[in-house]
Amino acid sequence: MAKSRSMQTSTSSSLAPWLGISLIVILFDQLTKIAVKKVFAYATPYAITPFFNFLLLFNRGAAFNFLSEASGWQRWAFTALGVAAACVIVYLLKRHGNQRLFCTALALIMGGALGNVIDRLVHGRVIDFLDFHVGGWHWPSFNLADSAIVVGAALLVLDELRRVRGAR
């Protein structure tokens, strides 16, 4: 019985750093969105470099404005998807808390997903403001939450590649 409690405490305590990473992502994401909303006018590009602008836009859909023109159901569907993803991630973090790269990746993804969930709940849409472009072509605008999700996904791929190499 004592051994079981000890193992349980170890698993629970290993969850804290990963939740901390997610919380930091959420805080930075939300703070940047608040600042951008206060400082910049909607849909007015502010050139930073020849290939990068700050550009305040609102996205009712998902990545790349997927389903942004739908009738409104997508707000709740993507909110539910983000919350469900966070629940699965917490479960995975509990089970694999000692796998640093894997858990860092999951924590970044969860923080990004929840940052965008907060936008959907509070504003009914996601606030995007990072605009990269080459010539006349613009990459779809995104935010720090989206960036955390992409970096987390890349780390998951790296983690899997390392795991496969190690199995050889």
Out of 29, 119, 131, 146, pick the active-site residue: 146
Is 146 among the residues known to form the active site? yes
In the block, which residue shows the tokens 């000890």? Answer: 6
Contact 107, 93 (CB under 8 A): yes
Angle at alpha carbon of residue 142, lines to 65 and 58, rounded to 5°: 60
Out of 119, 128, 131, 159, pick the active-site residue: 128
Q: Which residues of 88-127 are buried (b: 16+ CB within 10 A; e: fewer)?
A: ebbebbeeebebeebbbbbbbbbbbbbbbbbbbeeeebbb
Q: Which is nearest to 19 in space by CA: 81, 142, 120, 109? A: 109
Report, as residue numbers or ranges, the catalytic residues.
Answer: 128, 146
